[in-house]
Amino acid sequence: RIDACIFDLDGVIVDTAKYHYKAWKRLANELGFDFTEEQNELLKGLSRTRSLEIILEIGGVRLSAEEQAVQAARKNEWYVDMIRHMQPDEVLPGAGAFLESLRKAGIKTALGSASKNAGTILERVGLAPLFDVVVDGNAVTASKPDPEVFLKGASALQADPAYCVVFEDAVAGIQAARAGGMKVVGIGAADVLGAADIIVSGLGDMSLQRLKEL
Ligand code: B16
Ligand code: MG
């Protein structure tokens, strides 16, 4: 029995990692060091603040808390400048159709994202109407792997976590779903996402039938 599905945003519904990467790389370069796409992988699912700490460690740069807040805000300005141009064709393959099939089947949907920009992104790509509830980085105090974001989603949908399925592309997100007592579908590569119940390459591989088999 499945009552609700809770979706991560970046890497599951849209690929915003490429915009995060551009903005973080610009910041790293301005601070005098390089930042690679492989290093960007480490930041998936982590909060903006935690991401900046990791980038500064990579560059061996030490900043005061105030200066870190300033730099995180600059990065976010560049990032928002990119995502405000996003279009519906940037929704990852199969995501819209799967969300619609859930709606038809009476299964509730929530977004569970670390991003404080999640609302803007959903509006831009036209998916906001397909989510019953949005829990984003503005609504949580503890980042993934803490289960808070998913538990808040389940609670807002009045769903028992045992009957919720989380869709996640990041290791920290899969750990968060597990810690919340939920089922989890990993999106991506089997070698990194081993702790998921099943692993698919994208929502295009999901169906109501597959969901019921979980
Ligand atoms: P923002 P998700 C996460 O989104 C991204 O994966 C992560 O790279 C980013 O740092 C985080 O959101 C915070 O985003 O700076 O927009 O608040 O995967 O949890 O949907
Ligand atoms: Mg993600």
Whose C-alpha lies nearest to ligand 1, atom 16?
A: 115
What average pLDDT is seen over the chain? 96
Examine the pLDDT at 83 and tell me if it is beyond 90: yes
**Binding-site residues for substrate:** 8-10, 24, 43-48, 51, 75, 113-117, 144
Mean pLDDT across 188-198: 85
Enumerate residues lining ligand 1, CB below 6 A.
Answer: 8-11, 20, 43-48, 51, 76, 113-117, 137, 170
For 43-57, how does the pLDDT look when each residue is reduced to its tens digit (9 = 90+)? 988 999 999 999 999
Confidence of residue 178 (pLDDT cuts 50, 70, 90): very high
Q: Residue 206: its pLDDT value, please?
A: 97
**For the residues of the chain, what is the DSSP string, one character each?**
---EEEE-SBTTTB--HHHHHHHHHHHHHHTT----HHHHHTTTT--HHHHHHHHHHHHT----HHHHHHHHHHHHHHHHHHHTT--GGGBPTTHHHHHHHHHHHT-EEEEE-S-TTHHHHHHHHT-GGG-SEEE-TTT-SS-TTSTHHHHHHHHHTT--GGGEEEEESSHHHHHHHHHTT-EEEEES-TTT-TTSSEEESSGGG--HHHHHT-
Catalytic residue IDs: 8, 10
For 6-28, how does the pLDDT look when each residue is reduced to its tens digit (9 = 90+)? 999 999 999 999 999 999 999 99
User: Which-ligand-closest: CA of 114?
Assistant: 1
With the most atoms of ligand 1 within 8 angstroms of its CB, the residue from 6, 8, 9, 10 to mutate is 10
Q: Residue 114: its pLDDT value, please?
A: 94
Examine the pLDDT at 191 and tell me if it is beyond 90: no
Whose C-alpha lies nearest to ligand 1, atom 13?
A: 115
Examine the pLDDT at 194 and tell me if it is beyond 90: no
Q: What is the pTM of this model?
A: 0.94
